[in-house]
Amino acid sequence: ELVDACILLDARPFAQETESSRHSILGNLGLGIETVAYVNQSGFQNGYVLSGASCIYHKGKLAYELPYFEKAEALFDTQAEKQKRVVSCYPDTKEKMTKCLHQALVAGIRDYFSQCGITKAVLGLSGGIDSSVVLPLAVEALGRKNVFGIMMPSQFSTEHSVNDAVQLAENLQIQYEIIPIEPVYNVFMQQLSPIVKDTPFGLTEENLQARIRGSILMASANKQGAMVLNTSNKSEAACGYGTLYGDLCGGLSVLGDLYKSQVYDLARFINRKKEIIPVNCITKAPSAELHPGQKDSDSLPDYDTIEKVLRLHLEKKLDRKEIEKEGVDARNVKRILDLFYKNVFKRRQTPPIIRLSITTLDKDILLPLVCR
């Protein structure tokens, strides 16, 4: 004999890998219970985005589901002969998952700022893909009047990158400033001349540019009572591709649990109705523009290979030899995993991440501070 009804109360966080299991469990439970009411919390707690999406299973089938990441309510009559069915919000396709990630990030930013008692955000706009995705997310979460963008070109910045950043800011109608860093950089180099004279241009000079930009962002945030939004992604963070106290600064890492390919997916989703992010931001080769002609591929394997290796290692728990059997060049496997384990110390010093998976780098992957 069927149990009439069961009410399940939960505070389940969203995770890309586990969303399918929720409906599978509820569907199986519904085989022995006529009506299952699953009531899930929404909001942002300790890095988790609680998914909401409360639902009703009636006679073993999904009968009603509320939206993801929103506070919502509904009435469901278990005695009615005909029920108005609601299409499931469950992200069972890549397109639906991208939409879900977009909603989760907007909800995470909005709720985190509310909990911190902060209403304004500051971020650097480089014309690259990462900051170009974070800006519209921040505008949707906080409102355009509460988001301030800063372009900080150097002598190595290309004209099209500055133009792309300006176009993005104007498309979203936010306030922005252009603050060239070359004058500050030159003063630093002059003061550092006893240390750096007679040495070639290298990592020291590149990192100095990033740290000048970080100082400008933090000064602006302090003056406005705002929070700096970090724009680094999971692929970069895993490989240590970022500068401590520079582009890794901020109060919240928006893209820290998304691989580079997912950032591009989000960009295309944001542009689905009209061009908000300039197309050039999406199509050009990624570059930090810290020296002439620089591209990310100069320092890293291609991002698709990085993502494949990390997914196999972090999600499937495969070791180096097993990853090589999946068709990845042995040199790339070694290089990526060496970078991953050598840069734990950097990831320990990055801002809190909006968690969207079960392999978040700041909480789920707990490693010794120094790995050999």
pTM attached to this predicted model: 0.93
Q: What is the DSSP letter of 68?
A: B
- Would you give the DSSP letter of residue 353? B
pLDDT confidence of residue 237: 96
Q: Is the pLDDT of residue 282 over 60?
A: yes
What Cα–Cα distance (Å) separates residue 40 from each residue in 56, 71, 264?
Answer: 11, 10, 30
Fold of the domain built from segment(s) 96-298: Rossmann fold (3.40.50)
pLDDT band at 60, cuts 50/70/90?
Answer: confident
Range 45-52 average pLDDT: 94
Residue owning tokens 């006529």 = 34
Kindly tell me if the per-residue pLDDT of 117 is higher than 70: yes
Indicate the pLDDT class of residue 37, thresholds 50, 70 and 90. very high
pLDDT tier, 84 (very low <50, low <70, confident <90, very high otherwise): low
Task: Kindly state the helix (H) or strand (E) to which residue 95 belongs, with its residue range.
Answer: helix 94-116
pLDDT at 225: 98
Pick from 158, 154, 164: nearest CA to 125? 164
3-state secondary structure of 42: strand
How far apart, in Å, are the Cα atoms of 105 and each of 36, 169, 258, 278, 356? 29, 19, 11, 21, 9
- Count of residues making up the chain: 372
How many Å is the Cα radius of gyration of the chain?
23
Run of H or E including 123: strand 121-124
Residue whose tokens read 């908000």: 276
Residues 265, 125: Cα–Cα separation, whole Å: 19
Q: Could you tell me if 259 and 303 are in contact, meaning their C-beta atoms sit under 8 angstroms apart? A: yes
Q: pLDDT by residue (tens digit) across 3-14?
A: 888 999 999 999
- Residue 295's pLDDT is 81
Q: Is the pLDDT of residue 364 over 60?
A: no
Which class for 294: exposed (0-12), middle (13-18), buried (19 or more C-beta within 10 A)? middle
Amino acid 273: pLDDT: 96
Is residue 85 classed as helix, strand or coil in its secondary structure?
A: coil
pLDDT in tens, 209-226: 999 999 999 999 999 999
Confidence of residue 371 (pLDDT cuts 50, 70, 90): low
**Which positions ≥6 away from 346 have C-beta within 8 Å?**
237, 240, 242, 244, 248
Query: If pLDDT is split at 50, 70 and 90, which confidence band does 255 have?
Result: very high
Reported as a pLDDT band with limits 50, 70 and 90, residue 88 is low
**Residue range(s) of every CATH 3.40.50.620 domain in the chain:** 96-298
- The rounded distance, in Å, linking the Cα atoms of 303 and 264 is 11
Residue 372's CB is within 10 A of a number of other CB atoms, namely 5
Provide the percentage of residues in the chain whose pLDDT is more than 90: 76
Round to whole Å and give the CA distance between 133 and 119. Answer: 19
Round to whole Å and give the CA distance between 106 and 233: 16
Phi, psi of 225 (to 5 degrees): 65, 40
Cβ-count burial 187-223 (b if 16+ within 10 Å, e if not) = ebeeeeeeebeeeeeeeebbbbbbbbbbebbbebbee
- Report which of residues 181 and 2 the model is more confident about: 181
Task: Report the pLDDT value the prediction gives residue 194, as an integer from 0 to 100.
Answer: 96
Q: How far apart are CA 64 and CA 55, in angstroms?
A: 5
Ranges 80-84, 134-138, 153-157, 315-319: which has the least confidence: 80-84
Strand 227-230 vs strand 252-253: parallel, antiparallel, or unpaired? parallel
For the chain, the average pLDDT equals: 92
Q: Which of 204, 353, 349, 209 is nearest to 290 (CA)?
A: 209
Higher pLDDT, 119 or 88: 119
Mean pLDDT of 139-157: 97
**Closest of 131, 135, 130 to residue 146, by C-alpha:** 135
**CB proximity list for 69: less than 8 A, separation 6 or greater:** 14, 42, 49, 50, 51, 52, 53, 103, 104, 106, 107
- Please give the helix or strand (H or E) that residue 39 lies within, else none: strand 33-40
State mean pLDDT over 236-253.
97
